[in-house]
Homo-oligomer: A and B are copies of this chain.
Amino acid sequence: MNKRLLMTPGPTPIPPSVLRALSQPIIHHRTPEFKALFSSCADDLKPIFATEQPVLMLSSSGTGAMEASITNFTRRGDTIITVAAGKFGQRWGAIGRAYGLNVVELTVEWGHAVTVQAVADALTAHPEAVGVYFQSSETATATTHPVQAIAALCRTRANTLCVVDGITAVGVQPLAMDEWGVDIVLSGSQKAFMLPPGLAFIAASEKAWAQAASADHPRFYFDLPAERAKQAGGQTVWTSPVGLIQGLRAVLDIMIENGGLAGLHAHHDRLARATQAGVQALGLTLFSQAPAWSCTAVRAPDAIGAGPIIQGLNDRGIKVAGGQDHVKGKIFRIGHLGWFDGKDILTTLASLESVLLSLGHEFEQGASITACSAVLSA
């Protein structure tokens, strides 16, 4: 009878209509029926990615799409600039080094956004850089980087791509791919797309596709030019994750019914502000200096630490995420991207109050609910 509430920044809860779609009988991936399904999903993904470019689908986790965005658009020995402001930003550097790139890694204090100046300086120091690789929302710290301004810097240069991991940003917070001139945006199914993990998405600009022609890394499974050609006909090169694509159709229907991308932005902005207001009303501080709309990272009181708070919430049936690496035990992260609503935030805050009370933290009881409700009903 203990209902579990998953409040992590991915996987995120799956709506009932999507669960039902996931339990449909399987269809064959080389049939007109599948091509129609796949193409309808591909069409409806474009406005969610804010692009006219095809949004390619890959059978992998988001990390596969990150790798593909390096191996398909760079050459051995190329220089790339990466932003390491958390665990996911560090992954860009690791992939680049694995493929023999010269990685210029901008290390940023966790919880902070990279400054546009730091990127501009790196680009000036490295005119040979073929790409700036970073996150729209660094999930490890719940922090938003200044995508639009960095894209503007890259736009002035003929051979530098702006490559954005939008795993926790697509369908969540503004990331206007075509309008801002972002060259590559990638994402994954288990975040705003409210599906199980295993389906990755990637879209690229004409500038990026031109650069792809000279990419020279060995590759086979993640061959984006081949996927681009094949997916135009409603099929993937390798076997599609058919079940997830059946589920994706149900997800896109929900997104369309709820106002499309504008509706998703309004929804996540509201949940983020409600969560932020709630935890701050308890005397807790946000870990991020530039909070993302996908999840909220909260500093635990020093005297308590994050561990007992996460455990206390878990005991009450609510799963939140902890911190990673050197912020483990110091922060906890409340996810609110995907299938969440105001009631989920209120429940989490009420339970957090209960936990903090039991742990001896001093605060005004009920304050988080009042603050959160004020945002939700505004």
- Please report A residues at the B interface, Cβ cutoff 8 Å: 4, 6, 8, 10-14, 19-20, 22-29, 31, 59-64, 67, 94-95, 98-100, 188, 190, 195-199, 217-222, 238-244, 319
CB<8 Å pairs between A and B, sample of 6: A11-B242, A59-B59, A59-B64, A61-B239, A190-B242, A197-B239
Does the CB pair B20–A188 fall under 8 Å?
Answer: no
Looking at the complex, which one of B8, B23, B221, B241 makes contact with A197 (CB distance below 8 Å)?
Answer: B241
Does the CB pair A219–B98 fall under 8 Å?
Answer: yes
- Could you tell me the distance between the alpha carbons of A23 and B6 in the complex, rounded to whole angstroms? 16
Q: Which residues of B contact A198 (CB under 8 A)?
A: 59, 198-199, 241, 243-244
Does the CB pair B220–A95 fall under 8 Å?
Answer: yes
In the complex, what's the smallest C-beta–C-beta distance from A15 to chain B, in angstroms?
10
- Could you tell me the distance between the alpha carbons of A241 and B94 in the complex, rounded to whole angstroms? 22
In the complex, what's the smallest C-beta–C-beta distance from A182 to chain B, in angstroms?
23
Q: Which residues of B contact A4 (CB under 8 A)?
A: 25
Closest B residue by C-beta to A58: B60
- Could you tell me the distance between the alpha carbons of A24 and B4 in the complex, rounded to whole angstroms? 12
- Could you tell me the distance between the alpha carbons of A238 and B61 in the complex, rounded to whole angstroms? 7
- Could you tell me the distance between the alpha carbons of A318 and B14 in the complex, rounded to whole angstroms? 32
In the complex, what's the smallest C-beta–C-beta distance from A25 to chain B, in angstroms?
7
By DSSP majority rule, is chain A's interface helix, strand, loop, or mixed? loop
Does the CB pair B196–A243 fall under 8 Å?
Answer: yes
Assuming the contacts A22-B22, A26-B6, A221-B63, asked whether A197 and B319 have C-beta atoms less than 8 A apart, the reply is no
Assuming the contacts A23-B19, A63-B239, asked whether A220 and B28 have C-beta atoms less than 8 A apart, the reply is no
Does the CB pair B26–A221 fall under 8 Å?
Answer: no
Does the CB pair A319–B220 fall under 8 Å?
Answer: no
Closest B residue by C-beta to A94: B220
- Could you tell me the distance between the alpha carbons of A303 and B19 in the complex, rounded to whole angstroms? 47
- Could you tell me the distance between the alpha carbons of A365 and B100 in the complex, rounded to whole angstroms? 66
- Could you tell me the distance between the alpha carbons of A243 and B242 in the complex, rounded to whole angstroms? 13
In the complex, what's the smallest C-beta–C-beta distance from A322 to chain B, in angstroms?
9
- Could you tell me the distance between the alpha carbons of A221 and B98 in the complex, rounded to whole angstroms? 10
Q: Which residues of B contact A95 (CB under 8 A)?
A: 220
Q: Which of A8, A22, A198 has the most CB of B within 10 A?
A: A198
Closest B residue by C-beta to A223: B98
Q: Which of A12, A14, A59 has the most CB of B within 10 A?
A: A59
Does the CB pair A14–B6 fall under 8 Å?
Answer: no
Does the CB pair B196–A241 fall under 8 Å?
Answer: yes
Closest B residue by C-beta to A218: B99
- Could you tell me the distance between the alpha carbons of A99 and B218 in the complex, rounded to whole angstroms? 5
Looking at the complex, which one of B19, B59, B99, B243 makes contact with A25 (CB distance below 8 Å)?
Answer: B19
Does the CB pair B98–A239 fall under 8 Å?
Answer: no
Q: Which residues of B contact A61 (CB under 8 A)?
A: 59, 238-241
In the complex, what's the smallest C-beta–C-beta distance from A317 to chain B, in angstroms?
13
Q: Which residues of B contact A10 (CB under 8 A)?
A: 239
In the complex, what's the smallest C-beta–C-beta distance from A226 to chain B, in angstroms?
11
Does the CB pair A23–B22 fall under 8 Å?
Answer: yes
- Could you tell me the distance between the alpha carbons of A219 and B239 in the complex, rounded to whole angstroms? 21
Q: Which residues of B contact A195 (CB under 8 A)?
A: 243
- Could you tell me the distance between the alpha carbons of A188 and B196 in the complex, rounded to whole angstroms? 18
- Could you tell me the distance between the alpha carbons of A264 and B61 in the complex, rounded to whole angstroms? 31
Q: Which residues of B contact A219 (CB under 8 A)?
A: 98
In the complex, what's the smallest C-beta–C-beta distance from A67 to chain B, in angstroms?
5
Does the CB pair A196–B26 fall under 8 Å?
Answer: yes
